[in-house]
Chains A and B, each alone.
Chain A
């Protein structure tokens, strides 16, 4: 199948001007400006097939939004090629955005002062949505997203969760074949998050829309996406199944032990003491090195145990570790070109 997004060697370099300080500096800035080059996106290549739901993650400033902005035609790339649903986004803007949708969690796409119904009605005319398609989608989304209680409220008076639901509805009314979701669950409570995830899943599976999801909330990705792209310093570090990534890096487990008596020093082969709190000791160990049962056996041979519990390292911590310790750099997964 022809990929719906195809990106090759895409780069975006920004000039960041260093300003002179003070009043005199303001005049110096006019004639003598120095700048630094920031490579926000640096030779990125990937493809997305129709119907995929891909998580696009990375630490702050990694180049996620810059990539999305290029894919939606808001930015012109410095170099590289891309094709979105057969179009070159920045050049064929109108044709391209007709087929795509976008939700930016940080800001609304709706009209601030207009009631929701008016906003939706405007979108119907903007995208030229046939009446029957509009009515079917509108009624359906209204129900799933539970929009009825605030349909006549202007956007400015909506809560964050309500606004996000409204924005999601708006992004899908014209049956887009590709949708960019940028932090759609930011700042929401557990219930609201779940409602939005359910909706995303529904759209992807029932409507067959391709979705590129950018998020900081790894649980979004874990619940929704099979495939993830990890970007850092403008380069793609990982492109593959989240499960594979977790199998390689998420093998850290914790053993919480409550001893029956106080031991001043506890030694356990293949495990590290993380924390000691009276009789309570937390060990960490690698799934690959030793199994939990073996470890517990080894422990109970030498010490009297009253209670214990085994925990896997939370995914958030695994991903954070991958970012912070740059675990993917020079790893076989590393998608970057080998250093010259």
Chain B
């Protein structure tokens, strides 16, 4: 409890210092929305030449895309400390040692070490795309679907977050950015934005087994939008998202703690 209070205090102070220049902060958020939203606009314009791709309409794609984008933005804000663009330099400059010198849980301190509020831009953009999708398609909402939606977002946040934690952990060994992990997180983000079966089988297999992103995005969407799955998976697959995310996050934390122990005994 004391640690949670401390975490909130750390985050609050960072928000305060980021809001020191409100005008520039707002501009940053807006430009973020525009730049990232442009990807979707370009995609939508291309899409408009076809009625549908693989049986998915633009609205349905936007539904998946918006959700993933919103989750990723949220994750990118909460897990800012684990972003290897920030965590790599932290290790290299020896700032991680400072965390080890404080009588507070390390993981919590890394969460509190960085909180990038301007990621709101990506969240707003994702939300806008999601809302836009609802104007194009008629989702038949049920109570369970409304309940499952936030669960899905939380699952996606933790799933993406796990990739960030794993990426940060590798810097204990490499001490520098590993481009290959970019494929996993930012790459995974792109894949989750598209309906799955547009991709050829090998990639589909890779991301079903290596990065089970499909389970967090495609199959839940199949259920939400009442689509029939051309791959013919059983219905429960649509509800594996929270299980997969929890398992992934647990694994990521195990790896993270293993990394810290290795760091302490290799000490660079």
Q: Residue A74 contacts which of B5, B103, B267 (CB distance < 8 angstroms)?
A: B267
CB pair A126 B6 closer than 8 Å: yes
Task: Known A107-B94, A107-B95; judge A74-B100 contact (CB<8 A).
Answer: yes
Task: Known A74-B97, A113-B17; judge A125-B6 contact (CB<8 A).
Answer: yes
Task: Known A114-B17, A118-B13, A122-B10; judge A127-B264 contact (CB<8 A).
Answer: no
The count of A-to-B residue pairs whose CB atoms sit within 8 angstroms is: 65
B49 at the interface (CB under 8 A from A): no
A76 at the interface (CB under 8 A from B): yes
CB pair B17 A72 closer than 8 Å: no
A73 at the interface (CB under 8 A from B): yes
A306 to chain B, nearest CB (A): 57
Bound Cα distance from A15 to B13, whole angstroms: 40
Chain B binding surface SS class: helix
B257 at the interface (CB under 8 A from A): no
CB pair A107 B93 closer than 8 Å: yes
Contact with B along A83-126 (1 / 0, CB 8 A): 00000001001110110001010010101011000100010011
CB pair A126 B102 closer than 8 Å: yes
CB pair B101 A72 closer than 8 Å: yes
CB pair A114 B101 closer than 8 Å: no
A75 at the interface (CB under 8 A from B): yes
In the complex, what residues of A have CB within 8 A of residue B93's CB? 107
In the complex, what residues of A have CB within 8 A of residue B100's CB? 72-74, 93, 97
Bound Cα distance from A73 to B265, whole angstroms: 10
Bound Cα distance from A102 to B265, whole angstroms: 20
B107 to chain A, nearest CB (A): 13
B184 to chain A, nearest CB (A): 19
In the complex, what residues of B have CB within 8 A of residue A93's CB? 100
A27 at the interface (CB under 8 A from B): no
CB pair A76 B265 closer than 8 Å: yes
Bound Cα distance from A51 to B198, whole angstroms: 71
Give the contacts of B242-268 with A (CB-CB under 8 A): 261, 264-267
Bound Cα distance from A118 to B255, whole angstroms: 33
CB pair A126 B103 closer than 8 Å: yes
CB pair A109 B98 closer than 8 Å: yes
Bound Cα distance from A260 to B130, whole angstroms: 98
- B-contacting residues of A (Cβ < 8 Å)? 12, 14-15, 66, 69, 72-76, 90, 93-95, 97-98, 102, 104, 107, 109, 111, 113-114, 118, 122, 125-128, 154
Q: Which 8 A-B pairs have the closest CB atoms?
A: A98-B103, A76-B265, A75-B267, A94-B103, A76-B264, A113-B17, A97-B103, A109-B98
- A-contacting residues of B (Cβ < 8 Å)? 2, 5-6, 9-10, 13-14, 17, 93-95, 97-98, 100-105, 261, 264-267
11 A-B residue pairings within 8 Å (CB atoms) = A74-B97, A74-B264, A76-B261, A76-B267, A94-B104, A109-B98, A122-B10, A125-B6, A125-B9, A126-B102, A127-B103
